[in-house]
Structure 1
């Protein structure tokens, strides 16, 4: 009888689906891994807003994480990636240039890390023709325990982009005044 019970128990354990023993996947558990960096299908990645609200990207489409690409003046187009590198090194705290590469399609890619509000942040740029697309993201997400509410970096990613844009003197298209009509 004991052998029969032992056999039945081992059959039940073997039949248990793999997910039954797995840890549940939550925003908190997903945020413990650093964000994926690098291009996705030749483009800057969007922000992973479901796990990291401390991000801004020209590939994001909605809300505060969406950004507008920069336009490079013609005089700076051949040296754009070097100018971005110099601006990062002169404006950021403890910057490290992780990667600079020339892409086969003619663009240039730069990845840098620097100190942020909640730890290290990363910023990446894709320069192609006279356009710069970018993403600035906190590499670590800190949650308020026991809630699964991430702490904000109080707009650090957005202010970093504005600071670099001002340092470079480049612009993004302005929609200010769109739809305004002269007074009669």
Structure 2
């Protein structure tokens, strides 16, 4: 049994990361399902703009995810979008990042002072495998989240809202 509809890649107009497809192994900063939601990241303010941060993200992804391929890139005034094809546990996966020029600065908190571009993302399996006869999707055992964590840690970037040391233990 195949999931309904075509999977759309790229940003939703007017520049927003897509949520997760219903039955796919997925994690997204735009997901409405709590088990598929992940917090955005912040790049350090040492980057001139989103394009520079996206360049670092491309390098880190290609280096930390074996056999990954850059398949999409779009630089806009408001930020940079990059997409990758990566091998997953159950077939091909896609990882997308939207690096926005605007830092998070409206929380009225001193911890935001070192924040640079905001990083939104989605990582998902292109295909769904089912357990017969129940038609239950097979889990990839958290591979989407693990992959994103490897990329973030290789860059040393922070999870938004997790600037305190307790979040990293």
Report if TM-score (shorter chain) is over 0.5. yes
Q: What is the SS of the residue equivalent to 1:72?
A: strand
1:162 corresponds to which of 139, 149, 167:
149
Per the TM alignment, residue 76 of structure 1 is displaced from its structure 2 partner at its CA by 2.4
- Please tell me whether Structure 1 or Structure 2 has the larger radius of gyration of its CA atoms: 1
Listed as ranges, the gaps of 5+ residues in structure 1 are: 1-27, 179-184
Q: Is the 8 A contact 2:3 2:128 kept in 1?
A: no
Q: What is the SS of the residue equivalent to 2:46?
A: helix
Question: After TM superposition, what 4+ stretches of structure 1 lie above 6 angstroms from structure 2?
Answer: 175-178
Listed as ranges, the gaps of 5+ residues in structure 2 are: 102-116
Q: What is the SS of the residue equivalent to 1:30?
A: coil
Q: Deviation digits for residues 94-137 of structure 1, max 9, x if unmatched?
A: 1110011112x421100101111101110000011210000000
Query: RMSD across aligned C-alpha pairs, in angstroms?
Result: 1.9
2:99 matches 1:121: no
Q: What is the SS of the residue equivalent to 2:120?
A: strand
Higher relative contact order (CA 8 A, sep 6+): 2
Q: What is the SS of the residue equivalent to 1:136?
A: strand
Aligned to 1:76: 47
Separation in structure 1 between the aligned mates of residue 48 and residue 140 of structure 2, nearest angstrom: 32
Q: Is the 8 A contact 1:34 1:139 kept in 2?
A: no
TM-score when normalising by structure 1 = 0.74
2:62 matches 1:89: yes
2:104 matches 1:132: no
Alignment of structure 1 residues 1-184 onto 2, 5 Å = 28-30=1-3, 35-41=7-13, 42-49=15-22, 51-52=23-24, 54-78=25-49, 79-103=52-76, 105-129=77-101, 130-172=117-159, 173-174=161-162
Separation in structure 1 between the aligned mates of residue 28 and residue 118 of structure 2, nearest angstrom: 14
Aligned length: 147
Q: What is the SS of the residue equivalent to 2:20?
A: coil
Q: Which has the larger share of helix? A: 1
TM-score when normalising by structure 2 = 0.80
Separation in structure 2 between the aligned mates of residue 150 and residue 77 of structure 1, nearest angstrom: 42
Q: Which has the larger share of strand? A: 2
